[in-house]
Amino acid sequence: MKELFDITGFIMRKKKDVILSIMFGYIAGMTAVGLFAANGYLISRAALETPLYVLITMVAVVKIGSFLRAGSRYAERYYSHRATFTMLSDLRVYFYERLESKAPNSLQKHRSGDLLARIVGDVEALQNFFLRVVYPPIIMVTVFVSTIFFVGFYSIQVVILLAIGLCLTGFIIPAWFAKKQKESGSSIREKRSHMSTEVTEWLQGFRELKIHQKLKEKDLQLNDASNAYIKEQEREGTREVANQSVNMASALLISWAVLATGGYLVASNQLDGVFLAMLVMMSLTLFEHSTPMAVFPIYYEDSERAAKRLYSVVDKKEQGGSVPKDMSQEWEGAPSIELKNVSYTFPREWRKALHDVSLFLPAGSKTAIVGPSGSGKSTLLQLILNLHSSTKGEIYLDGIPVKELEQDALWKKTNVVLQDNHFFYGTIQDNLLLPNDSWSEDELQQILADVQLPSFSLSDQVMEKGENLSGGQRQRLAMARAIAKGSSLWLLDEPTSSLDSWTERRLYDLLVERSGEDTVVVISHRLAELEQIDQIIVMDQGKIVESGTFTELMEGKGYFYQMKQIENNVLQHA
Ligand SMILES: Nc1ncnc2c1ncn2[C@@H]1O[C@H](COP(=O)(O)OP(=O)(O)OP(=O)(O)O)[C@@H](O)[C@H]1O
């Protein structure tokens, strides 16, 4: 309920359109009733010996009424849909912003297909909240009340019948449907989400599924998900039609009752016969406004579910979620990095990825982090980047706690290469993701040459996810992207793991040359090229087990020395 209240807030931001659509909806409803009433009256009058001028006037009124009805119906549709679609666009932006601020920590809990179903399908479902939940009862009540007031001048018995009809078709029957709807429940949203998840996985993993001959199995799962969704859609459709039929049948019964009562009143001289057709026509038209109430419970519940599903993603207070307190802080130049007793456990994991890590990296220093796979190197880098928030302890950049830095400002000031670098469909230049026009084309071409991609031109096409690039080319392009960023903090996670030794050496030389006085932290799985690094941090099982310069660590003959010996042996036997 609270979620729908929030959605109502979004609708109310479009106050002008909402008021205009209700106003024109009311005019359209009233002119429809008036038009049919005039028709009924006209037919009756025409049967009597009525002067021609009265008939001409009546026909003219009917004609004007038709234009008015068409015009106001158009205006009502225009404003109600404008209110709805601009509200949907606001909702999309709102949810996207909330999701973005929670990425990647919270979003990891949701499968991508499910998220897609929520941000596309559930937002879309909310278009019915105004059009089919909020709006119809308002129009129904206002048009009914006005008509009943008018009918009061002719017959109190018909007024009572119409009032009973309003209660029955507008409230009692929809309430009964709502009860039935609650009992049987609807899972159309969940079924759609499940199907979307299966489709996304199928698309993303198509190649692997094909290679490992699992495509058929996955196809069956996809089919099951699709059939379940279709079945639920059919169930919902049948329910919708059944509800509408019951409501329409009840409305027709009331109109029959109006006819019968009117007939009795005419026969007993309590009503002039010329008004009978008018009252029946009014009744028939009037109940068109209560028919939409038949589907009110379906759309109300669907909107409620959709709103709940949306808010369940963005509303949760995450453990370790980053909520900057004072986002105005920034650092100048190359920052120092300090970690004080930092621990981190991934959501839904019991094992600590980092355990009580403390370190200090002076401004302008060059640091390498090494260690076996799974020792927590990438996690450490991600915490410095504020992609996750430490479970315990504090991280400082230039003395400022990273939790208090605005994420955008932090990322703007950092040259990042992660293990998985994403590339977009577009040109090489597009994929350098330049923050401004500070580089000329020649300079960018030089950067490409420096990262050992001399044959690439800025206008070369990159396919989706960089599929037309080799692993090594992707890494070099990611390095070019980091260089083009031009910031004074470098955080690089295995930037050369797919490169041959010669190219790796060139890239490390380039890094030293380009980074100058900047602060650099580089994760390396290889222990070569570390002689020129100021400080090496050795990690194992989420802890720092050693640190020092290359010479110190080699002379200390500890963990690093042993790793180096193993690496040398492997290389000798390779
Ligand atoms: N997204 C995640 N969710 C849950 N656990 C994770 C996640 N990412 C990493 N871990 C766990 O955290 C621990 C540290 O992982 P991390 O990626 O930091 O290691 P690493 O030293 O960078 O390894 P590698 O050299 O293989 O990249 C591992 O036990 C890993 O299973």
CA distance 110 to 197: 10
- The secondary structure of 192-227 as a DSSP string is HHHHHHHHHHHHHTHHHHHHTT-HHHHHHHHHHHHH
Ligand 1 pocket test: pick from 108, 318, 369, 375 the residue with the most ligand atoms within 8 Å of its Cβ.
375
Å from CA of 346 to ligand 1 middle: 9
Give the lowest-confidence range in 298-307, 316-325, 372-381. 316-325
CA of 383 to the centre of ligand 1 (A): 12
What's the average model confidence in pLDDT over 17-35? 94
* pLDDT for position 105: 63
The residue nearest atom 28 of ligand 1, judged by CA position, is: 374
* 420 ligand 1 Cβ < 6 A: no
| Among protein residues, the one whose CA lies closest to atom 26 of ligand 1 | 373
Distance 385 CA to ligand 1 centre (A): 15
pLDDT at 114 over 90: no
pTM: 0.68
Dump strand ranges (E) for 447-510: 461-462, 489-493
Mean pLDDT of 405-433: 86
Q: Which residue among 318, 342, 378 has the greatest number of ligand 1 atoms within 8 angstroms of its CB, and so is best to mutate? A: 378
pLDDT at position 17 is 94
Place 212 in a pLDDT band, splitting at 50, 70 and 90. confident
Res 320: pLDDT: 43
Average pLDDT over residues 164-192: 85
Determine the angle formed by the axes of helices 188-204 and 215-267, rounding to 10 degrees. Answer: 150
pLDDT greater than 80 at residue 172: yes
d(CA 28, CA 73): 5
Looking at per-residue pLDDT, the higher value among 110 and 248 belongs to 248
pLDDT of residue 505: 87
Band (pLDDT 50/70/90 cuts) for residue 321 is very low
375-384, 459-468, 476-485: least confidently modelled range: 459-468
More confident residue, 560 or 340: 340
Q: Is 348 left (phi over 0), alpha (psi -120 to 50) or beta?
A: left
Ligand 1, atom 1, residue with closest C-alpha: 346
Is the pLDDT confidence value at 437 over 80? no
Nearest atom (ligand 1) to Cα of 376: 18
Burial class (CB within 10 angstroms; exposed 0-12, middle 13-18, buried 19+) of 566: exposed
Cis upstream peptide for 347 (omega within 30°) = no
Residues of the chain with pLDDT > 90, as a percent, come to 43
Does the Cβ of 290 fall within 6 Å of ligand 1? Answer: no
| Least confident interval from 74-83, 137-146, 260-269, 298-307 | 298-307
Say if residues 83 and 19 touch (Cβ distance below 8 Å): no
Residue 319 has pLDDT above 50, yes or no: no
pLDDT for 119: 79
Residue nearest to atom 25 of ligand 1 (CA): 373
Cα 169 from chain centre: 36
User: Would the CB of 332 count as within 6 Å of ligand 1?
Assistant: no
Q: Flag whether pLDDT at 147 surpasses 80.
A: yes
Rounded-to-integer distance, Cα 191 and Cα 188, Å: 5
Strand partners for 23? none
Is the distance from CB of 547 to CB of 537 less than 8 angstroms? yes
Q: What is the largest distance, in Å, between two alpha-carbon atoms of the chain?
A: 121
pLDDT interval class at 571 (50, 70, 90): low
Distance, CA of 31 to CA of 363 (rounded, Å): 76
The pLDDT score that the predictor gives to residue 345 is 93
Please indicate whether residue 370, judged by its CB atom, sits closer than 6 Å to ligand 1. Answer: no
Q: How far is the CA of 539 from the centre of ligand 1 (A)?
A: 12
Q: Calculate mean pLDDT across residues 175-201.
A: 83
* CA 473 – CA 498 distance, rounded (Å): 9
User: Does the pLDDT of residue 511 top 80, yes or no?
Assistant: yes
> Which residues, in sequence order, are CB contacts of 2 under 8 Å at separation 6+?
none
- Copy the structure tokens of residue 200: 């996304």
Lowest mean pLDDT: which of 129-143, 419-433, 443-457, 536-550?
419-433
- pLDDT score at 330: 75
- From the CA of 424, how far away is ligand 1's center (Å)? 25
**pLDDT tens-place string over residues 531-564:** 778 999 999 999 999 999 989 998 988 888 888 8
Mean pLDDT of 467-489: 91
Tell which residue, 380, 391, 392, 373, has the closest CA to residue 337: 380
- Short-list 302, 377, 428, CA closest to 543: 377
Phi-psi region of 374 (alpha: psi -120 to 50; beta: other; left: phi over 0): left
**Region 289-304 average pLDDT:** 87
pLDDT at position 435, please?
63
pLDDT in tens, 348-367: 788 999 999 999 999 999 99
What are the structure tokens assigned to 375, written together?
């020792």
Per-residue confidence band for 318, with pLDDT thresholds at 50, 70 and 90: very low
**By alpha-carbon position, which residue is closest to atom 29 of ligand 1?**
374
- What integer best gives the mean pLDDT of the chain? 87
**CA dist., res. 268 & res. 91, Å (int):** 60
Task: Examine the pLDDT at 394 and tell me if it is beyond 60.
Answer: yes
Q: How many CA atoms lie within 13 A of 112 on its CB side?
A: 8
Residue 163 has pLDDT above 90, yes or no: yes
